[in-house]
Structures are given as C-alpha cells and as structure tokens.
Structure 1
Amino acid sequence: MADADPQLHPETRAEAEPIVVARKRRWLRPALMFGVPLIVLAIAGWLWATSGRTVSTDNAYVQQDKVSVSAEVAGRIVEVSVTENQEVAAGDLLFRIDPEPYRIAVADADAAIAGAQVQLGTQRASYQGTGADIAAARDQISAAQQDYDRQAELMQRGFTTRARLQQSEHALEQARAALANANADAAEARAALATGAAVPGQNPAIAAARVKREKALLDLARTEVRAPVAGTIAQSDRLQRGQMMMAGLPAVTVVADGRSWVEANFKETDLDHMRVGQKAEIGFDAYPELKLKGHVASIGAGTGSEFSVLPAQNANGNWVKVTQRVPVRIAIDGKSPRPMIAGLTADVTVDIR
C-alpha cells in the first residue's frame, strides 16, 4: 500500500490516495443504506416487543406505621425520658405524669374498703341482735296472752271490770306488733347482708370499694407512659417537664421499625392489567443506586380525591375531566440495606405481564 510503504515516490503516493478513498466510499454507501434502516428497525422492534409490559410512576412515597402515643390519665409531666429521633424498644419509658394524686386515690380506696368492712361487721351484729328482739317479743306475747285469758275468765265470773279486760287485750296487741317489728328488722338486717348475683359471695359495698381501688391502681400505673412498639421517636417537642397533659391528647409519635412499604399513586389508566402479586422494582431519590424488589400487595378501594378532606364536586357546570390516581401498596421484599424513612420519594415500576 502507498500509505504503508514510505519508500514510494511522492508522486506515486499522491496517485494512489484517490484510489483508496474511492474504495472506502464505495463500501460506506451500502453500509449506510442498509445499516441505518436495520438499526432503526431493530430499535422499533425492541420497543414494540417491550411496550405494554410495565407501568411506572414517580408519584410514590415510603410509608411506615406511625403510632401516636397519648396519656390515658391527665396530670403534670414530671419526667421525660426520650429525645427526638431516639431509638426505643417496646416497653421503654417515654414520660411520666405526676403520680401523687393517684397514690392519694389508692389510699382513699383503701379507706373505703376498711369502712365497708366495718359497716359489714355492724350489720352482722345488728342481725344477731334481732334474734334476741324476736325472742323477747314472743315472751311478751305469751305473758300478754296469759293475762288476757285470765281477765276474760274473771270477766265471765264477774270478778273484774271491762276496762281491765280491754287493757289486757291492748297489751296483747302491742306485744304482737312488737314481734312483727322485730321480724321486719331481722329481714332488713338479713337483706343488708345478702350478696347479689353479679358478685356472689361478696358484700356489694366491699366489692365496690375494691373495684374503686383497682381503678386507682390502674390510673397510678398509667402515669408511666411507655412505648407500645419498637421504633424511632418523632414529634417529641410536645413533651416538656411541667406541662399539663390531657388524657387522650397525642403527646409523641413512634415510627415503628420493620414495617415499611411504598404507596404508589398510579393513573387509573394503568390499572387495567395490574394485579395483586405482580413483581415491582423500586428506586429512591435519596439513594440513586439502590434498587429494591417488591410486589403489589393491594390496590386501593378508592381514588385519592375520593378520600380527601374536600372531595371534588363534579355535579356542576365547571366540571373538567382529570385522570384520577389510585393508591397502590407496594410491599418491599427483603430488608433494605439503607434506612427507610417515612415520606421518601420513590419510583415504582410494575411488571404487568
């Protein structure tokens, strides 16, 4: 070749270069004519073969179970044991409410039990005393009956007066009334000692006092508010020593560990072939190189606008059709090597084949 042989005369080399260029152009034209269409056809075939196999959305966010913890009793906060973003285990102390009022309530319940026990003893003694009253009333009836019989016999013989007979008859009636009163007092005392069907074998007053004590002990135990699940503390700025805490008012949030999923809001036009169990790939804006595998766990029962605070009112003259979004829960398969943070933006691609 002229280019490869440096010993060729310059004039000879100049004559050979146009021939080489012509040969290259002769092969380049067919390559362009046939190669470019083949490449275009290959790309088009690949797009046609792969189109409709997946649906994707970047309107997706990491979700985690968030447990809102509140106090079950009211009181002043005297101790705070956690800080923002602190890891806690289930059962760890979060904060403590002043227990003194509830200790006093327990002491008051103990006193109520003692009072009910004393009252029960008094009722038993009273019931035992009614037996003596009944016996005395019967003796009075017996004596009054004998006196009446004697006066009636003397009246028949004419040795007594009618006034004396009436006096003995009145005494007999009083003795009988005293016996009836004694029996009534005994029945009342017996009823006071009776037990109801709800708490058989227990005096109702003592049972009520014991229930009051159990309630006081439960309230005392609830002054210590503990983590219901393991997780990370959030919104702990609402916990301040000296602050009054109302029962049922959210005080702190625990973001539960190991319960992460992705909520992807797909267009309604993407749901035709989507089914529960289909494989999915998840990417994260926070971790560009991280790709996790997942699957469709469930498809929402309504669009996002349907469950909004102010749902759209389409029955008016200003209606404009807007493609709705349906929340789809994507379960994450396996454990992520990077921490999952609630609210992270994600990209989800679902294989709908």
Structure 2
Amino acid sequence: MSTPVSKAEAGEASGLAAPSAMAAPPAKKRRPGRLLLMVSVPLLVVGGGAYFYLTGGRFEETDNAYVQQAKVAVSSDIAGRIVAVNISENQMVHAGDVLFSIDPAPYQIALDQANAALGSARVNVEQLKVSYQTAQTALAAAKATLEIQQASFNRQNTLVEQGVSSASTLDQPKLSLRAAQTAVASAEQQVASAVAALAGNPEIETDMHPTVLAALSQVQLAERNLSKTDVVAAADGVISQIGNLNVGQFVTTGTTIASLVETGGTWVEANFKETQLAGIHVGMVAEVAVDASPGAPLEGKVTSIGAATGSEFSLIPAQNATGNWVKVVQRIPVRVDFEPDAAVQLRSGMSALVSVDTGKSTLDKLQGH
C-alpha cells in the first residue's frame, strides 16, 4: 500500500530535478596522438615495403632444381656367359673394381691361335729372307756364266772374222750366250720377286713386315678381348639395377646390364624462369640448399646456362602455331657446380633450392648500374 505524498513534497522534488535535467553535456577533448598514429603507421608500412623492394631483388631463386650425377650404363665389350658376379644392389664401388666376369676360355683359345699365327708369320718372313739370299746367289752365278759365254763367243767370233774358222762355228757359242743371258734375266726376276715379298726392303726387321704386323694386331686384339672378360667399374660410384645380372646368363656386346651412378662429380641443374635470366651470368656465386639437408647450404658457382628451354629438347617439342596458343613462361636449365659435403648423402634426382647472387639490387637495376 503506497504512502500519500503531499503537494509540498512533490513541488520540492520537481524543483530539485529541473536544473540537473537542463544542464549541458561536457565537451569531448581532441586526441592528436590518435591522428598521428593513423597517418604514421600506413606511411611506415609503405616506406618499409618500398625499402625492402628497392634493396631486394639481388638474389634470383628457384626451387625447380635437382641434384645431378653422371650415370653410366654398364655393359660388356665382348659376348659370353657370366661365370661370377662380385657386386650387390646399391653397392659402393671404386674405379677398377671387378663387377662381374665372363667365361675366359673361348678368348684364351683365340689368344693361343693368334700367337701361333704370329709365330708362323715370323717363320715365313725368315724364309723370304732366305729366298732372297738364294735368288741373289743364283743371279751372281748366272752373271758369271754369262761372262764366260760372252768371252767364248767373242773368241770364236774373232776367229771367224780373221777367216780362220767358218761362220757355222758361231752357232753353238751364240746359243750358249743367249741361254746365259736368259738365265741372268730370270735370276733378276727372282731377286725382284724376293724383294717385293720383303715389302721392298731386304733388310727389313721381321716384326716390321706387314704379315707379322697383321699377326701382331690379332694377338693384341685377342689379349684385349681376354682382358675384357673381367668387367670393371669405370669410376667411383654406386652400382644399381643389377636384376638381370646373374651367373649363367649370356650377355651380348654392348647390352646394358646395370647402371653406375658416379659420385665423383655432382652438380645441380636449376631451371630458372626466362624472366630471371637477365641478371644471371656464368661465374656468379650460388647457394645450394638440398632438401635432404636443409640446414647445411652448400656454396657453388654458375658454370653454364642452357642453350635452349627444356621443351626444345623434348621428344615432341611444343607446336605454338595454333589458334588456342597460350603463353607460358619457359624455363632454362642453369648448371651449378659445387663441392658436396661429405656429411650430406647426395643422390641423383634430389630436390634442391638454388639462390644465385646477382650482385645488383632492384634500385641498382632501376639506376642502370
């Protein structure tokens, strides 16, 4: 139940509330720091961005890069059956290590035959020298007989000219003289034939005769084939893909039977965009970060820049003379050579990040330096 309020109390209450309701609100104070902050922050952001843009651009970078190592196809220079395999998959080998062996028996037989042919050739040359000496002796004898017959004919001819003997007495001396002349001519032909058989030089060394040289080459070929029965590693590296390398298997000449990834030379092929090549030149310093060891970057040097884009060397180059041609930024392979860290196990095909120091910032490029 409410308590009645008197008119005097009501008037007094209304008199107190009226002035407070009619009082004006206080004026807000301006804050200059807020305006300064709103202006300075964007300016600082723009200025910082401009600074980093102008002072940046010195390094050209790409992650389209891969570690490369020379890969050699292991094959045999001769045909034969494998009798021994001395390696296993992904084994580290050194230059000269025997990888596998081919049955040497057929090639040993071929070498023995070649040596026998060489001996026979030397004997034949010695016989030719003897034949030359015999021909020389026969020629000397024929010339001596010719001198005797010529003297006998001259004496008889003098008697005939003096009228002491009849002309018929010259018939026999004349026949004997003709026979002696024929014998000398035949002996000279025998000597010439003997000289020709000795390659035109009667004093030729036996092993310099063409027949002996041919036999020697066959011996060298047989020795070379026999030495190739042991297939050795051409360089230090890792042997792989030996699934077809088994004892008892017959291999033919030149057939690839395994692969050797050489570890002696390692480089990175970095595929830079064509728009990045303007500042890259041979000899520039590059930093190589291999994904397998991101915390250990390696220092390298640009050694060559590709002569064409990768698509130009593809099996089917792109044909751009079409109505739906779309421009695509091409990439040029850049070779970066470096000394691999022994602690990093590098393998051909590993991904890498390559950064080339061009030595010029964006500001330098804008100023034409």
Normalised by the shorter chain, which TM-score bucket?
Answer: 0.7 to 0.9
- The structural deviation recorded for 1:247 is 2.8
Deviations 1:302-352 (A, max 9, x none): 211122222223344443322110111233356152201110122233343
SS in 1 for 2:279: coil
What is the aligned residue count?
325
Label 1:157 to 1:31 Cα distance change in 2 as closer, same or farther (>3 A): closer
Percent of residue pairs bearing the same amino acid type: 44
2:204 pairs with 1:214: no
| Equivalent in 72, 90, 97 of residue 95 of structure 2 | 90
Q: Which whole-Å CA distance do the structure 1 matches of 2:338 and 2:165 have between them? A: 116
1:178 aligns with: 183
Q: Please report how far the alpha carbon of residue 212 of structure 1 lies from its aligned counterpart in structure 2 after TM superposition.
A: 2.1
Name the Cα RMSD after superposition.
3.5
- What TM-score, normalized by structure 1, do the two folds share? 0.77
Aligned pair partner of 1:255 in 242, 261, 266: 261
CA 1:296–1:190: 2 relative to 1, 3 Å: closer
Q: Is the 8 A contact 2:266 2:339 kept in 1?
A: no
Say which of 268, 276, 279 aligns to 1:273: 279
* TM-score where L is the length of structure 2: 0.74
Q: Does 1:104 align with 2:109?
A: yes
Judging changes above 3 Å, is the alpha-carbon distance between structure 1 residues 272 and 128 closer, same or farther for their aligned structure 2 residues?
closer
For the 8 Å contact 1:148–1:172, the answer to whether it is kept is: yes
Which protein is bigger by CA-based radius of gyration?
A: 2
Residues 155, 83 of structure 1: CA spacing in aligned structure 2 closer, same or farther, 3 A cutoff? same
Aligned mates of 1:136, 1:227 — CA distance in 2:
66
Q: Distance in 2 between matches of 1:341 and 1:93?
A: 23
Gaps of at least 5 residues in structure 2 are 1-30, 361-369
CA pair 230-38 structure 1, distance change in 2 beyond 3 A: same
Greater shift in the superposed pair: 291-300 or 320-329 = 291-300
Q: 1:296 to 1:208 in 2, by over 3 A?
A: closer
CA contact (8 A) 2:90 2:240 kept: yes
Q: What is residue 20 of structure 1 aligned with on the other side?
A: none
Paired residue for 1:298? 304
Which of the residues 82, 105, 112 maps onto 1:77? Answer: 82
Partner of 1:137: 142
- Counterpart for residue 65 of structure 1: 70
Q: Is the 8 A contact 1:67 1:254 kept in 2?
A: yes
Cα drift, residue 117 of structure 1: 2.2
Q: Distance in 1 between matches of 2:342 and 2:40?
A: 45
The 3 A distance-change label for structure 1 pair 264 and 171 is same
Distance in 1 (CA, whole Å) between partners of 2:357 and 2:150 is: 108
Greater Cα offset, 295-304 or 142-151? 142-151
